[in-house]
Chain A
């Protein structure tokens, strides 16, 4: 096994991988940019290497700097996390040439899956089911019209190099097709430096279901069940669960076998995810393959009991898969909520800034993978994902109730987060019944927010709280060393409840602590 691993990432995923290192007795090397010196992943790692300015191209996307950091720190392997360089074949190849193990698939597999049209051609050969459409870039508007006529409207135009919901456009009639093609091509050229666009039949209200696979260097490939990822906003996943309530054991086996086929056709090694679109009749179509560990990997870990990052390390070190397909047994249910620094009440505007207060939920069945801490300033330079709240339980209903309970404990002050959005999702009858598709969240967000009887009961208390708070100085204006304004109520409380009579200048904290000590 490796002695030292560099994590070429930041935020919650870097923390997640560092934890796995520590659990396996491996030393971890964090990397950081100017704005991440105080980030949690840097605090948690055994070693830390400075990369450069905040701009990703000067730090987390800079291959020479990361390789130099790996050399300097003596790391034998690099875990790329997700995003940044995780699906960059050039990086995987540069690692190989530098004699450093890239914890992931080979650059050849990544290249095969990296271009959507190339992946289609290869997967078609392997007998993988596809949404009807073209395997190659469209050459002309005439070709687009002909194909669209054959497969039927509505159709989707997609940039071959696109992803994450960017570079896609729906077309409902032949009249719009030519101009839509032109726009999509020029957008693709600008965004991805590649104007290649292909066409696909548009599947109405599909589900987005993905299959986790794992391959080893001996050529074994297994599947670790599916994840339901249909709850998305602007094609970005917000909530994921495992297993998918729509998938029955037979469908799981068929999807899993197709996913294994995909992996074998790509000579796939390490963790990968095969994404499918699923229609209302339980037909499933290959969408794309993600050649990395996914953000939502924890839900699979919960229901299979397998630590995917540990397994990644073992496979990268050349060990064979320690388990076979028959060893994968699903137990219970898990749901993950992605906590973003964005304001759901204000059009999901990003909300970087200082976290002035962080109260995290705990208790049965919860897991938090997070890159934040109280007092940390969320930089504006990177993705707004702060962390993930994952709940596990016997069944889906219990998990939903558990998450609702956990959300009532969760508080992140100083910045806006999408925590309130999850309460709406979890309370929604369609969601509770498992009736979700990729349009679910957009429909939910168009519905007016209705308060229940609890809201009515809370309003006068909230008004009183606001008035009481108004008697306290706002955060940041507090002169240091003077606690009376802040803690006078706490002091008063302990004054009435205990024999101690603190002076006006005594900290309320001390009194509260003393009081607690006495109470016990």
Chain B
């Protein structure tokens, strides 16, 4: 099976085939014979060339996948070329409205901007409080605030839509 895997934003072409013990794979054309064993949910033990690795998978609240190896964290995104979802995700990345979502569950303590405001990239939009800390969420890009879906003192969950910047 072929995959495109983005590790920390860098694209890698993967070919993965089951073999007698583990997998016969290539990464960007280079051959890798690996022995892989899932030792627990989200914990994968890999032996390659006699060297032992342990990869752990976790999901951030925003739904991104992270792979932990040793104490290093890698951002990982797998694009199965046949999957509609990943094609959509790829298309949504380039332009169009930016959805501002709650990065964590918490309470809205301040809405800094108004609908119709023009904002610069990096400008503070909204302040969410959780665990006794206030966190300002900033505009990911320059644009216009077209919609605000929450009011001050509202409680939000991770991933809830807060506003849209176009």
- A493 B55 Cβ-Cβ under 8 A: no
Q: Give the docked Cα–Cα distance between A189 and B21 (Å).
A: 68
Q: Which residues of A contact B7 (CB under 8 A)?
A: 459, 462-463, 466
Q: Give the docked Cα–Cα distance between A177 and B77 (Å).
A: 51
Q: Which residues of A contact B46 (CB under 8 A)?
A: 461, 464-465
Closest Cβ neighbor of A378 among chain B residues = B131
Q: Which residues of B contact A401 (CB under 8 A)?
A: none
> Assuming A357-B58, A463-B76, is B65 touching A469 (CB within 8 A)?
yes
Q: Which residues of A contact B43 (CB under 8 A)?
A: 357, 359, 411
At the interface, yes or no: A302 with Cβ under 8 Å from chain B? Answer: no
**CB within 8 Å of B: which A382-433 residues:** 382-384, 407-408, 410-411, 413-414, 416, 419-420, 422-423
- A464 B32 Cβ-Cβ under 8 A: yes
Q: Give the docked Cα–Cα distance between A463 and B105 (Å).
A: 30
> Assuming A351-B104, A353-B158, A489-B36, is B41 touching A461 (CB within 8 A)?
no
- A352 B67 Cβ-Cβ under 8 A: no
At the interface, yes or no: A458 with Cβ under 8 Å from chain B? Answer: yes
Q: Give the docked Cα–Cα distance between A56 and B37 (Å).
A: 45
CB A378 to nearest CB in B, in angstroms, measures 9
Closest Cβ neighbor of B10 among chain A residues = A459
> Assuming A419-B71, A458-B72, is B42 touching A475 (CB within 8 A)?
yes
Q: Which of A345, A347, A466 contacts B78 (CB 8 A)?
A: A466
- B103 A384 Cβ-Cβ under 8 A: no
Secondary structure at the B interface, as helix, strand, loop or mixed, is strand
- B56 A467 Cβ-Cβ under 8 A: no
CB A339 to nearest CB in B, in angstroms, measures 12
Q: Give the docked Cα–Cα distance between A474 and B25 (Å).
A: 22
Q: Give the docked Cα–Cα distance between A383 and B130 (Å).
A: 9
Q: Which of A343, A461, A466 contacts B53 (CB 8 A)?
A: A461
- A380 B104 Cβ-Cβ under 8 A: yes
A348, A466, A493 — most chain B CB neighbours (10 Å)? A466
The count of chain A contact residues (Cβ–Cβ below 8 Å) is 59
At the interface, yes or no: A518 with Cβ under 8 Å from chain B? Answer: no
Q: Which residues of A contact B67 (CB under 8 A)?
A: 462, 465-466, 469
Q: Mark A474-509, 1 if CB is under 8 A from B, else 0.
A: 110000000000111110010010000000000010
CB B157 to nearest CB in A, in angstroms, measures 10
Q: Which residues of A contact B36 (CB under 8 A)?
A: 464-465, 468, 489
- A458 B53 Cβ-Cβ under 8 A: yes
- B104 A352 Cβ-Cβ under 8 A: yes
Q: Which residues of B contact A346 (CB under 8 A)?
A: 103
At the interface, yes or no: A364 with Cβ under 8 Å from chain B? Answer: no
Q: Which residues of A contact B41 (CB under 8 A)?
A: 356-357, 475, 486
At the interface, yes or no: A451 with Cβ under 8 Å from chain B? Answer: yes
- B133 A350 Cβ-Cβ under 8 A: yes
At the interface, yes or no: B80 with Cβ under 8 Å from chain A? Answer: yes
- B73 A380 Cβ-Cβ under 8 A: no
At the interface, yes or no: A325 with Cβ under 8 Å from chain B? Answer: no
Q: Which residues of B contact A140 (CB under 8 A)?
A: none
Q: Mark B8-20, 1 if CB is under 8 A from A, else 0.
A: 0010101010001
At the interface, yes or no: A329 with Cβ under 8 Å from chain B? Answer: no
Q: Which residues of A contact B12 (CB under 8 A)?
A: 459-460, 463
- B34 A464 Cβ-Cβ under 8 A: yes
Q: Mark B27-42, 1 if CB is under 8 A from A, else 0.
A: 1101010101111111
CB B158 to nearest CB in A, in angstroms, measures 7
At the interface, yes or no: A470 with Cβ under 8 Å from chain B? Answer: yes
Q: Give the docked Cα–Cα distance between A382 and B133 (Å).
A: 10
- B38 A462 Cβ-Cβ under 8 A: no
Closest Cβ neighbor of B55 among chain A residues = A465
At the interface, yes or no: B135 with Cβ under 8 Å from chain A? Answer: yes
> Assuming A350-B106, A461-B69, A462-B7, is B60 touching A470 (CB within 8 A)?
no
Closest Cβ neighbor of B79 among chain A residues = A470
Q: Which residues of B contact A458 (CB under 8 A)?
A: 53, 69-70, 72, 74
Other than A359-B43, A464-B34, give 20 A-B pairs with Cβ distance below 8 A.
A342-B131, A350-B135, A352-B104, A384-B132, A413-B42, A413-B57, A423-B72, A461-B34, A463-B7, A463-B14, A464-B14, A465-B44, A467-B5, A468-B44, A469-B78, A489-B36, A489-B44, A490-B38, A496-B20, A496-B21
Please name the 8 residue pairs, one residue from A and one from B, whose CB atoms are nearest each other, closest first. A465-B55, A350-B131, A466-B76, A460-B27, A489-B38, A470-B78, A413-B58, A493-B37
Q: Give the B-binding residues of A (Cβ under 8 A).
A: 341-343, 345-353, 356-357, 359, 380-384, 407-408, 410-411, 413-414, 416, 419-420, 422-423, 451, 454-455, 458-470, 472, 474-475, 486-490, 493, 496, 508, 512
10 A–B pairs (Cβ distance < 8 Å), ordered by A: A348-B133, A357-B41, A359-B56, A380-B131, A464-B34, A465-B76, A469-B55, A474-B59, A486-B41, A508-B38
